[in-house]
């Protein structure tokens, strides 16, 4: 069940647009995950962004999605 996200106060205070209200399918899928799974994905995104110069979080989510098709049923 995907619902429309409301802007987060952290982004408002930082004066930045909240990326989760953009409607991006990867971010919406991330919001639909249970919190434990969401933490795993966010850790993977963080590590990928640190390891690959120029990779942004959205690009890391896309990369994880692309790589997951090669993993089959592995979790």
Q: Can you point out the beta strands (E) in the chain? A: none
Instruction: Give per-residue pLDDT as tens, 38-69.
Output: 999 999 999 999 999 999 998 999 999 899 88
pLDDT value at 75 more than 60: no
pLDDT in tens, 7-31: 678 888 888 888 877 788 888 888 8
Structure tokens at 9: 């106060």
Distance CA 74, CA 62 (A): 18
Q: Are 33 and 20 in contact (CB under 8 A)?
A: no
Instruction: Supply the pTM of this predicted model.
Output: 0.69
């Amino acid at each position: 069940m995907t619902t429309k996200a409301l802007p987060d106060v952290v982004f408002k205070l930082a004066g930045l647009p909240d990326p989760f209200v953009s409607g991006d399918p990867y971010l919406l899928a991330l919001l639909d995950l249970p919190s434990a799974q969401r933490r795993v994905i966010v850790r993977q995104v963080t590590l990928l962004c640190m390891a690959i110069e120029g990779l942004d979080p959205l690009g890391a989510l896309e990369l994880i999605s692309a790589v997951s098709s090669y993993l089959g049923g592995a979790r």
